[in-house]
Chain A
Amino acid sequence: MNCAEFEACLLELVAEESHAGLIHTEARSHASSCSRCAARLAEERVLVAGLRAWANTAQHETASAHVEAALLTRFRALERTKAAVPDIQSPNRALWKAPRYVGLAASILLLFGWALIQFTRKTDVEQAQRQPAPKLSASSEQTAAAPGKIPSLGRVAAGVDGAGPQSGPTQPDGLVALPPPERGIRSETPRDPGRKPARPVKPRPPQVSTPVTEGRLQYAARSTGRTERRPVEAERTANDHIETEFIPFMAAGPRFSSEQRQFVRVKLPRSALQVFGLPMNMERAREPVQADVMLGEDGRALAVRFVRE
């Protein structure tokens, strides 16, 4: 053992706590041969003896009696405070502390909500099946403007191939400037007689929102009623047909409700959503968005709605 090793085990050596007998013996033999380490050992012994002496004299020292008295006074005050404050919410808290109650209540609510959704969808399908299919003819290209008799253009146009643009709407002064359509303006055209008849769709009046300036635009996401298909949930979500309400252009004015209308399916840059104050997904900024433009008799654009199929 050298001096450094001796120094390392000095505390244990003096405290006589070391159970490693070999080290103990080696340290003692080193101290007997090294005068410096022997002196260090002696000093350490004196120090430890002094510390123990002090510890013995101090072991009966305690805090003053007034500390205990002050603490007990404080303890009683705290207990009085606890008793004075009524625990109003304790019954509810006790109830809701039990996680099983919370879990049970949540399960019941989820089950009830799911059953309600299923029942509502089933009812819609049954009602749609009872109604006759709408007659789509060439004359339906220009549809009467009577509310309640205009079929949902989102659905009608969705099944029609793009037949080329109709007479392009010339936008008069004062209209909201829409970005130009990118490609394939789709308009309502009669179905090919050779094709399968269209699925019965519940007729729906065009829903017109208040002008943009009133700041009351809302997204109206509606289910398309494709309940005969029962795809998996993710697929169904992806296929959901979402369309906004018709957003009138400012210049449409009072003629909006009395004119005959045409509807043109166009694709617009996604930034058009922002023009109408609608939220835009920046991650899909490069993808176009579909829109139905409502045209008046003179070809003026009256309103627009955005469609996601």
Chain B
Amino acid sequence: MIDPQTLSDEELLRLTRAGDEHAFTVLYRRHQGPVYRFALQMSGSQSVADDITQEVFLALMREFSRFDSSRGSLAPYLYGVARNQVRRHMERGKFQVPIHDDGGASLEPITAPGDPLGDLTLREGLSALRQAILTLPLHYREVVALCDLEEMSYEEAARSIGCAVGTIRSRLHRAHALLIQKLRDAKETPSGVSRNSMRCFK
């Protein structure tokens, strides 16, 4: 008996298509974490991230044939679907979602020598960083989520988003510059960022 945990994504997909529920469960558990985190970092809301994760795997379940393994692995495909779902949520015009203020509750401080922005690795620093990311324009936010937070390579991110590698690189560079600027501004007005617990994401 083959352990489904050892199977590749393509084999799990084939089994799932044939009606193997266990294969689908393994596939879901393998990929739901990154998809959920991406959705969370994009939306800032756990409930929205749950909805998006569910929609992504429902889409995969309904249309297995849309995934073409010759064009890349499953993870970038799922990120692409998640990205579309995030945009769809945004187009519905809600996006007055609460920002988590307890994001860095259990953080241990990490030393950052010569820190001009304050210690971002401390609890408050991380919270400010999180809020600053959520105020980035969408196309900057998604490259930060993919490349910095999910530690995806530029090539994989480009495949997920559907653009050139150079575009990813330049967006990431610009996103970092914006983040530094926002954090610098927030430091000058310490209560400026955390004062607004509701923020428009659009």
A positions within 8 Å CB-CB of B: 7, 10-11, 39, 42-55, 57-64, 66-68, 70-72, 74-76, 78-79, 82
Main secondary structure of the interface of A (DSSP, over half): helix
Q: Contacts A49-B121, A53-B107, A53-B110 given: A62-B33 contact, CB under 8 Å?
A: yes
Partner of B112, one of A46, A59, A71, A78: A46
Partner of B28, one of A50, A52, A68, A78: A68
Are B126 and A50 touching (Cβ within 8 A)? yes
The proximity string for B residues 48-84 relative to A, scoring 1 for CB distances below 8 Å and 0 otherwise, is 0110011001100110000000000000000000000
Main secondary structure of the interface of B (DSSP, over half): helix
Are A64 and B61 touching (Cβ within 8 A)? no
Task: Give the complex CA separation of A75 and B126 in angstroms.
Answer: 39
Are B32 and A46 touching (Cβ within 8 A)? no
Residue of B at shortest CB range from A48? B148
Task: Give the complex CA separation of A76 and B115 in angstroms.
Answer: 54
Q: Contacts A43-B116, A67-B32, A75-B61 given: A51-B50 contact, CB under 8 Å?
A: no
B140 adjacent to chain A (CB < 8 Å)? no
Q: Contacts A55-B151, A58-B149, A61-B37 given: A46-B61 contact, CB under 8 Å?
A: no
B15 proximity list for chain A (CB < 8 A): none
Q: A48-B148, A54-B104 are in contact. List 19 more A-B contacts (CB 8 A).
A: A10-B173, A43-B116, A44-B176, A46-B117, A47-B120, A50-B129, A53-B110, A54-B103, A54-B126, A54-B130, A55-B149, A55-B150, A55-B151, A61-B33, A63-B49, A63-B53, A67-B53, A75-B24, A78-B61
B112 proximity list for chain A (CB < 8 A): 45-46, 49-50
B positions within 8 Å CB-CB of A: 19, 21, 24-25, 28-29, 32-33, 35-37, 40-41, 46, 49-50, 53-54, 57-58, 61-62, 103-104, 106-107, 110, 112, 114-117, 120-121, 125-126, 129-130, 144, 148-151, 169, 172-173, 176, 179-180, 183
Are B149 and A68 touching (Cβ within 8 A)? no
B117 proximity list for chain A (CB < 8 A): 43, 46-47
Are A47 and B183 touching (Cβ within 8 A)? yes
Are B40 and A55 touching (Cβ within 8 A)? no
Are A42 and B54 touching (Cβ within 8 A)? no
B62 proximity list for chain A (CB < 8 A): 78
Are A63 and B21 touching (Cβ within 8 A)? no
Task: Give the complex CA separation of A61 and B179 in angstroms.
Answer: 23
Shortest distance from the beta carbon of B64 to any chain A beta carbon, whole Å: 11
Task: Give the complex CA separation of A36 and B172 in angstroms.
Answer: 20
